[in-house]
Amino acid sequence: MSGQLTVSLSALTANYKLLCKYASGAVAAVVKADGYGLGAAQVAAHLRQSGCEAFFVATCVEGVLLRQTISQADIYVLEGVTPASATALREANLTPVLNTPQQLSLWSSSGCAAAVHVDSGMQRLGLPYADASQILKDCGIPLSLFVSHFARADEQGHGSLAVQLERTLPVYQAVRGQHPNLRLSLCNSAALLQGLGPEDLGRAGIGLYGGNPFAGATNPMHTVLTMTAQVLQIRDIESGVPLGYGGTFVTQAPTRVAVLGVGYADGLPRLLSNRGAVYIGGQRRPILGRVGMDLTAVDVSGLDVAEGDEAEMIGAAINVDEVAGWAETIAYEIFTGVSRRMPKRYVE
Protein backbone atom coordinates (compact mmCIF):
# COMPACT_ATOMS: atom_id res chain seq x y z
CA MET A 1 0.00 0.00 0.00
CA SER A 2 2.62 2.55 1.01
CA GLY A 3 5.76 0.48 1.20
CA GLN A 4 8.92 0.91 -0.82
CA LEU A 5 12.14 -0.99 -1.44
CA THR A 6 15.34 0.98 -1.82
CA VAL A 7 18.29 -0.84 -3.38
CA SER A 8 21.69 0.72 -2.79
CA LEU A 9 23.78 0.13 -5.89
CA SER A 10 26.85 1.60 -4.20
CA ALA A 11 26.52 -0.96 -1.39
CA LEU A 12 26.10 -3.70 -4.00
CA THR A 13 29.33 -2.59 -5.65
CA ALA A 14 31.14 -2.40 -2.30
CA ASN A 15 30.07 -5.96 -1.47
CA TYR A 16 31.18 -7.22 -4.86
CA LYS A 17 34.59 -5.58 -4.48
CA LEU A 18 34.99 -7.00 -0.97
CA LEU A 19 34.28 -10.52 -2.22
CA CYS A 20 36.69 -10.01 -5.13
CA LYS A 21 39.37 -8.91 -2.67
CA TYR A 22 39.38 -12.32 -0.98
CA ALA A 23 38.86 -14.42 -4.12
CA SER A 24 41.64 -16.45 -5.72
CA GLY A 25 40.17 -15.81 -9.16
CA ALA A 26 37.34 -13.87 -10.79
CA VAL A 27 33.93 -13.58 -9.13
CA ALA A 28 30.58 -14.22 -10.80
CA ALA A 29 27.26 -12.90 -9.50
CA VAL A 30 24.41 -15.26 -8.69
CA VAL A 31 21.27 -13.44 -9.80
CA LYS A 32 18.72 -16.25 -9.67
CA ALA A 33 15.22 -15.65 -8.25
CA ASP A 34 15.14 -12.18 -9.84
CA GLY A 35 18.43 -11.16 -8.25
CA TYR A 36 17.37 -12.49 -4.83
CA GLY A 37 14.25 -10.36 -5.15
CA LEU A 38 16.14 -7.12 -5.84
CA GLY A 39 15.71 -7.14 -9.62
CA ALA A 40 18.02 -9.31 -11.71
CA ALA A 41 18.16 -6.95 -14.69
CA GLN A 42 19.09 -3.90 -12.62
CA VAL A 43 21.52 -5.78 -10.37
CA ALA A 44 23.28 -7.51 -13.24
CA ALA A 45 23.52 -4.38 -15.38
CA HIS A 46 25.13 -2.48 -12.52
CA LEU A 47 27.55 -5.28 -11.67
CA ARG A 48 28.46 -5.64 -15.33
CA GLN A 49 29.52 -1.99 -15.28
CA SER A 50 31.51 -2.76 -12.12
CA GLY A 51 33.52 -5.41 -13.94
CA CYS A 52 31.52 -8.60 -13.37
CA GLU A 53 31.81 -10.83 -16.45
CA ALA A 54 29.80 -13.90 -15.45
CA PHE A 55 26.38 -14.56 -13.95
CA PHE A 56 24.53 -17.62 -12.64
CA VAL A 57 20.78 -18.16 -12.84
CA ALA A 58 18.66 -21.14 -11.78
CA THR A 59 16.57 -21.75 -14.89
CA CYS A 60 16.63 -21.31 -18.63
CA VAL A 61 13.72 -18.87 -18.39
CA GLU A 62 15.75 -16.67 -16.01
CA GLY A 63 18.72 -16.87 -18.36
CA VAL A 64 16.75 -15.85 -21.43
CA LEU A 65 15.34 -12.83 -19.60
CA LEU A 66 18.77 -11.84 -18.32
CA ARG A 67 20.30 -12.12 -21.78
CA GLN A 68 17.94 -9.35 -22.91
CA THR A 69 19.79 -7.04 -20.52
CA ILE A 70 23.31 -8.51 -20.54
CA SER A 71 24.61 -9.18 -24.04
CA GLN A 72 28.34 -9.50 -23.40
CA ALA A 73 28.87 -11.85 -20.45
CA ASP A 74 28.77 -15.54 -19.60
CA ILE A 75 25.42 -16.69 -18.21
CA TYR A 76 25.38 -20.13 -16.58
CA VAL A 77 22.11 -22.02 -16.01
CA LEU A 78 22.27 -24.19 -12.89
CA GLU A 79 19.38 -26.51 -13.76
CA GLY A 80 21.30 -27.72 -16.80
CA VAL A 81 19.43 -28.68 -19.95
CA THR A 82 16.09 -30.37 -20.56
CA PRO A 83 14.47 -31.41 -23.85
CA ALA A 84 12.23 -28.36 -23.56
CA SER A 85 15.05 -25.87 -22.93
CA ALA A 86 17.83 -27.06 -25.27
CA THR A 87 16.90 -24.81 -28.20
CA ALA A 88 16.35 -21.73 -26.02
CA LEU A 89 19.72 -22.23 -24.33
CA ARG A 90 21.51 -22.28 -27.68
CA GLU A 91 19.60 -19.34 -29.14
CA ALA A 92 20.27 -17.13 -26.10
CA ASN A 93 23.93 -18.21 -25.90
CA LEU A 94 23.48 -19.58 -22.39
CA THR A 95 25.81 -22.15 -20.83
CA PRO A 96 24.05 -25.03 -19.06
CA VAL A 97 25.63 -26.52 -15.95
CA LEU A 98 25.20 -30.22 -16.75
CA ASN A 99 24.28 -32.38 -13.77
CA THR A 100 23.50 -35.90 -15.03
CA PRO A 101 24.62 -38.38 -17.70
CA GLN A 102 21.28 -37.81 -19.42
CA GLN A 103 21.97 -34.07 -19.64
CA LEU A 104 25.43 -34.77 -21.05
CA SER A 105 23.88 -36.95 -23.72
CA LEU A 106 21.22 -34.39 -24.54
CA TRP A 107 23.73 -31.54 -24.92
CA SER A 108 26.38 -33.54 -26.78
CA SER A 109 24.78 -32.89 -30.16
CA SER A 110 24.60 -29.12 -29.64
CA GLY A 111 28.22 -28.42 -30.51
CA CYS A 112 28.22 -25.80 -27.77
CA ALA A 113 30.30 -25.46 -24.62
CA ALA A 114 28.93 -26.39 -21.21
CA ALA A 115 29.82 -26.39 -17.54
CA VAL A 116 29.69 -29.57 -15.52
CA HIS A 117 28.59 -29.97 -11.89
CA VAL A 118 30.21 -32.61 -9.71
CA ASP A 119 28.60 -33.33 -6.34
CA SER A 120 31.33 -33.57 -3.69
CA GLY A 121 29.06 -33.74 -0.66
CA MET A 122 25.95 -31.60 -1.02
CA GLN A 123 23.79 -34.56 -2.19
CA ARG A 124 21.73 -32.43 -4.52
CA LEU A 125 22.40 -31.86 -8.22
CA GLY A 126 25.59 -33.06 -9.86
CA LEU A 127 27.50 -36.10 -11.01
CA PRO A 128 28.73 -38.27 -8.09
CA TYR A 129 32.39 -37.43 -7.51
CA ALA A 130 33.40 -41.09 -7.40
CA ASP A 131 32.08 -41.70 -10.92
CA ALA A 132 32.53 -38.30 -12.52
CA SER A 133 35.93 -38.85 -14.14
CA GLN A 134 34.72 -41.96 -15.92
CA ILE A 135 31.39 -40.41 -16.93
CA LEU A 136 33.11 -37.34 -18.38
CA LYS A 137 35.83 -39.26 -20.22
CA ASP A 138 35.45 -38.65 -23.96
CA CYS A 139 32.07 -36.97 -23.37
CA GLY A 140 32.32 -35.09 -26.66
CA ILE A 141 31.35 -31.74 -25.13
CA PRO A 142 33.75 -28.79 -24.86
CA LEU A 143 33.68 -28.25 -21.09
CA SER A 144 34.50 -24.71 -19.99
CA LEU A 145 33.74 -24.77 -16.25
CA PHE A 146 33.91 -27.39 -13.50
CA VAL A 147 31.46 -26.61 -10.67
CA SER A 148 31.11 -28.03 -7.18
CA HIS A 149 29.56 -26.55 -4.05
CA PHE A 150 30.45 -26.47 -0.36
CA ALA A 151 27.57 -27.63 1.83
CA ARG A 152 28.68 -25.93 5.07
CA ALA A 153 30.93 -23.02 4.16
CA ASP A 154 28.92 -20.74 6.45
CA GLU A 155 30.30 -22.74 9.41
CA GLN A 156 33.87 -21.47 9.40
CA GLY A 157 36.45 -24.22 9.75
CA HIS A 158 33.96 -27.07 9.46
CA GLY A 159 35.69 -30.36 8.65
CA SER A 160 33.49 -31.05 5.65
CA LEU A 161 35.21 -28.26 3.71
CA ALA A 162 38.53 -30.13 3.59
CA VAL A 163 36.75 -33.38 2.76
CA GLN A 164 34.96 -31.81 -0.19
CA LEU A 165 38.19 -30.28 -1.49
CA GLU A 166 39.91 -33.67 -1.26
CA ARG A 167 37.11 -35.18 -3.31
CA THR A 168 36.87 -32.38 -5.87
CA LEU A 169 40.42 -31.49 -6.88
CA PRO A 170 41.55 -34.92 -8.17
CA VAL A 171 38.41 -35.19 -10.32
CA TYR A 172 38.96 -31.68 -11.65
CA GLN A 173 42.56 -32.45 -12.55
CA ALA A 174 41.54 -35.66 -14.31
CA VAL A 175 38.86 -33.93 -16.39
CA ARG A 176 41.15 -30.99 -17.12
CA GLY A 177 43.52 -33.46 -18.80
CA GLN A 178 41.05 -33.65 -21.68
CA HIS A 179 39.88 -30.03 -21.40
CA PRO A 180 42.98 -27.83 -20.91
CA ASN A 181 40.97 -24.60 -20.67
CA LEU A 182 38.62 -25.96 -18.00
CA ARG A 183 38.12 -23.50 -15.15
CA LEU A 184 37.25 -24.40 -11.56
CA SER A 185 34.33 -22.90 -9.57
CA LEU A 186 33.77 -23.86 -5.93
CA CYS A 187 33.17 -20.92 -3.61
CA ASN A 188 29.99 -19.21 -2.51
CA SER A 189 30.10 -15.95 -0.53
CA ALA A 190 31.18 -17.56 2.75
CA ALA A 191 33.86 -19.65 1.07
CA LEU A 192 35.16 -16.63 -0.84
CA LEU A 193 35.58 -14.61 2.35
CA GLN A 194 37.52 -17.49 3.90
CA GLY A 195 39.87 -17.71 0.92
CA LEU A 196 38.93 -21.30 0.16
CA GLY A 197 39.86 -22.73 -3.18
CA PRO A 198 41.93 -22.68 -5.29
CA GLU A 199 39.58 -21.72 -8.09
CA ASP A 200 39.15 -19.59 -11.19
CA LEU A 201 35.58 -18.35 -10.72
CA GLY A 202 33.74 -17.79 -7.43
CA ARG A 203 29.98 -17.46 -7.18
CA ALA A 204 28.81 -14.56 -5.01
CA GLY A 205 25.26 -14.89 -3.72
CA ILE A 206 23.88 -13.86 -0.32
CA GLY A 207 26.88 -11.70 0.62
CA LEU A 208 26.49 -9.69 -2.55
CA TYR A 209 23.03 -8.57 -1.41
CA GLY A 210 24.06 -7.75 2.16
CA GLY A 211 23.02 -10.94 3.95
CA ASN A 212 25.42 -12.47 6.46
CA PRO A 213 27.36 -15.28 4.76
CA PHE A 214 28.31 -16.79 8.13
CA ALA A 215 26.37 -18.57 10.85
CA GLY A 216 26.92 -16.98 14.25
CA ALA A 217 29.48 -14.37 13.18
CA THR A 218 29.51 -10.63 12.53
CA ASN A 219 28.26 -9.65 9.09
CA PRO A 220 31.04 -7.98 7.06
CA MET A 221 28.75 -6.94 4.21
CA HIS A 222 27.06 -3.61 3.49
CA THR A 223 23.26 -3.19 3.62
CA VAL A 224 21.82 -3.24 0.10
CA LEU A 225 18.07 -3.55 0.67
CA THR A 226 15.90 -1.25 2.74
CA MET A 227 12.17 -1.82 3.12
CA THR A 228 10.15 1.11 4.44
CA ALA A 229 6.50 1.77 5.14
CA GLN A 230 4.47 4.92 5.71
CA VAL A 231 2.41 5.59 8.78
CA LEU A 232 -1.20 5.53 7.56
CA GLN A 233 -2.85 6.32 10.88
CA ILE A 234 -2.04 7.08 14.52
CA ARG A 235 -4.36 5.64 17.16
CA ASP A 236 -4.46 6.27 20.92
CA ILE A 237 -5.79 3.14 22.57
CA GLU A 238 -6.85 2.62 26.18
CA SER A 239 -5.55 -0.11 28.47
CA GLY A 240 -7.10 -3.57 28.13
CA VAL A 241 -8.00 -3.31 24.44
CA PRO A 242 -7.23 -6.20 22.02
CA LEU A 243 -5.59 -5.27 18.71
CA GLY A 244 -6.03 -6.74 15.26
CA TYR A 245 -7.15 -10.16 14.06
CA GLY A 246 -7.71 -12.58 16.89
CA GLY A 247 -6.87 -9.98 19.54
CA THR A 248 -3.49 -11.64 20.10
CA PHE A 249 -2.13 -8.48 21.73
CA VAL A 250 -3.96 -6.66 24.51
CA THR A 251 -2.73 -3.26 25.70
CA GLN A 252 -1.50 -3.26 29.30
CA ALA A 253 -1.53 0.54 29.50
CA PRO A 254 -2.69 3.46 27.34
CA THR A 255 -0.78 2.93 24.10
CA ARG A 256 -0.08 5.01 21.03
CA VAL A 257 -0.15 2.84 17.92
CA ALA A 258 1.06 3.59 14.41
CA VAL A 259 -0.56 1.60 11.62
CA LEU A 260 1.97 1.01 8.82
CA GLY A 261 1.08 0.29 5.20
CA VAL A 262 3.08 -2.92 4.75
CA GLY A 263 2.10 -6.52 5.48
CA TYR A 264 2.76 -10.11 4.56
CA ALA A 265 1.56 -9.52 0.98
CA ASP A 266 4.59 -7.25 0.62
CA GLY A 267 7.01 -9.84 1.98
CA LEU A 268 7.00 -8.94 5.68
CA PRO A 269 6.73 -12.35 7.36
CA ARG A 270 3.58 -13.02 9.37
CA LEU A 271 5.76 -14.73 11.98
CA LEU A 272 6.88 -11.24 13.05
CA SER A 273 3.50 -10.92 14.76
CA ASN A 274 4.06 -9.95 18.41
CA ARG A 275 7.81 -10.69 18.14
CA GLY A 276 9.36 -8.43 15.48
CA ALA A 277 10.30 -4.78 15.57
CA VAL A 278 10.63 -1.79 13.26
CA TYR A 279 12.77 1.34 13.39
CA ILE A 280 10.66 4.48 13.69
CA GLY A 281 11.16 7.91 15.22
CA GLY A 282 14.80 7.10 15.91
CA GLN A 283 14.00 4.00 17.98
CA ARG A 284 13.31 0.30 17.62
CA ARG A 285 9.69 -0.33 18.46
CA PRO A 286 7.78 -3.65 18.76
CA ILE A 287 5.17 -4.97 16.36
CA LEU A 288 1.81 -5.33 18.12
CA GLY A 289 -0.60 -8.11 17.23
CA ARG A 290 -0.71 -9.99 13.97
CA VAL A 291 0.97 -8.76 10.82
CA GLY A 292 -1.86 -8.32 8.32
CA MET A 293 -1.87 -8.73 4.58
CA ASP A 294 -1.38 -4.99 4.03
CA LEU A 295 -1.01 -3.46 7.51
CA THR A 296 1.22 -3.74 10.58
CA ALA A 297 0.71 -2.05 13.95
CA VAL A 298 3.62 -0.86 16.12
CA ASP A 299 3.93 0.79 19.51
CA VAL A 300 5.00 4.45 19.18
CA SER A 301 4.12 5.57 22.70
CA GLY A 302 6.16 8.61 23.66
CA LEU A 303 7.51 9.21 20.17
CA ASP A 304 6.99 12.25 17.98
CA VAL A 305 5.52 10.30 15.06
CA ALA A 306 2.83 11.54 12.68
CA GLU A 307 0.77 10.26 9.79
CA GLY A 308 2.94 10.11 6.68
CA ASP A 309 6.20 9.40 8.53
CA GLU A 310 8.30 6.41 7.50
CA ALA A 311 9.34 3.32 9.38
CA GLU A 312 12.18 0.98 8.43
CA MET A 313 11.02 -2.62 8.31
CA ILE A 314 14.29 -4.08 6.98
CA GLY A 315 17.56 -2.22 6.53
CA ALA A 316 20.57 -0.93 8.41
CA ALA A 317 18.78 -0.63 11.76
CA ILE A 318 16.63 -3.78 11.42
CA ASN A 319 18.90 -6.10 9.44
CA VAL A 320 17.60 -8.85 7.21
CA ASP A 321 19.20 -11.63 9.25
CA GLU A 322 17.48 -10.40 12.41
CA VAL A 323 14.15 -10.37 10.59
CA ALA A 324 14.88 -13.89 9.35
CA GLY A 325 15.56 -15.01 12.92
CA TRP A 326 12.21 -13.69 14.13
CA ALA A 327 10.55 -15.44 11.20
CA GLU A 328 12.36 -18.72 11.92
CA THR A 329 13.94 -18.78 8.47
CA ILE A 330 17.00 -17.45 6.63
CA ALA A 331 17.82 -14.20 4.86
CA TYR A 332 17.54 -15.91 1.47
CA GLU A 333 13.82 -16.49 2.02
CA ILE A 334 13.25 -12.92 3.22
CA PHE A 335 14.97 -11.50 0.12
CA THR A 336 13.24 -13.77 -2.37
CA GLY A 337 9.87 -13.39 -0.62
CA VAL A 338 9.66 -9.66 -1.30
CA SER A 339 6.49 -8.96 -3.25
CA ARG A 340 6.58 -7.68 -6.81
CA ARG A 341 3.92 -5.13 -5.85
CA MET A 342 6.49 -3.26 -3.77
CA PRO A 343 7.95 -0.40 -5.85
CA LYS A 344 11.75 -0.45 -6.12
CA ARG A 345 14.02 2.57 -6.08
CA TYR A 346 17.66 2.16 -7.14
CA VAL A 347 20.07 4.68 -5.65
CA GLU A 348 23.81 5.28 -5.81
Do 38 and 123 belong together in one domain?
yes
Final residue before a domain boundary, out of 160, 175, 209 = 209
Q: What CATH number has the domain bearing residue 202? A: 3.20.20.10
Tell me, yes or no, whether 216 lies in a domain.
no
The reply to whether 173 and 229 lie within a common domain is: no
Tell me, yes or no, whether 218 lies in a domain: no
Whether 180 and 272 map to the same domain: the answer is no
* C-alpha–C-alpha distance, residues 343 and 6, integer Å: 9
> Same domain for 231 and 318?
yes
Q: Are residues 240 and 163 in the same domain?
A: no
24 located within any domain: yes
Which of 180, 209, 238 is the last residue before a domain boundary?
Answer: 209
In angstroms, the CA 28 to CA 37 distance is: 18
Residue 219 placed within a domain: no
CB atoms within 10 A of CB 51: 12
Give the pLDDT score at 158: 87
The CATH number of the domain where 291 resides is what?
2.40.37.10
Asked if 111 and 178 sit in the same domain, the reply is: yes
Catalytic position from the list 17, 21, 137, 245: 245
**Nearest in space to 201 (alpha carbons), one of 17, 14, 80, 29:** 29
Same domain as 258, residue 112: no
255-272 per-residue burial string, b: 16 or more CB within 10 A, e: under 16: bebbbbbbbbbbbbbebb
Q: Is residue 49 part of a domain?
A: yes
d(CA 118, CA 208): 24
Cβ burial of 117 (10 Å; 0-12, 13-18, 19+) is buried
Give residue 250's domain range: 225-347
32 given a catalytic annotation:
yes
Last residue of a domain, one of 209, 237, 262: 209
CA 287 to chain centroid, in Å, comes to 26
The 10 Å Cβ neighbour count of residue 327 is: 21
pLDDT for res 142: 95
Do 101 and 242 belong together in one domain? no
Task: Report if residue 80 sits inside a domain.
Answer: yes
Backbone dihedral angles phi then psi of residue 134, each to the nearest 5 degrees:
-70, -40
Residue 2 domain-assigned? no
Instruction: Confirm whether 185 is domain-assigned.
Output: yes
What's the pLDDT score for residue 1?
59
What is residue 216's predicted lDDT score, i.e. its pLDDT?
Answer: 83
pLDDT, block means (10 residues), the chain with 348 residues: 92 98 96 97 97 98 97 97 97 98 96 95 92 92 95 88 91 94 96 91 97 93 98 98 96 98 97 98 98 98 97 97 97 95 94
Residue 245 annotated as catalytic: yes
Total structural domains within the chain: 2
Task: Look at strands 225-237 and 255-260 and give their pairing.
Answer: antiparallel
Q: Among 22, 32, 36, 76, which one carries the catalytic annotation?
A: 32
For residue 170, whether the previous peptide bond is cis, meaning omega lies within 30 degrees of 0, is no
230 shares a domain with 189: no
Q: Checking DSSP bridges between strand 344-347 and strand 3-8, what pairing results, if any?
A: parallel
* Cα 283 from Cα 220, distance rounded (Å): 24
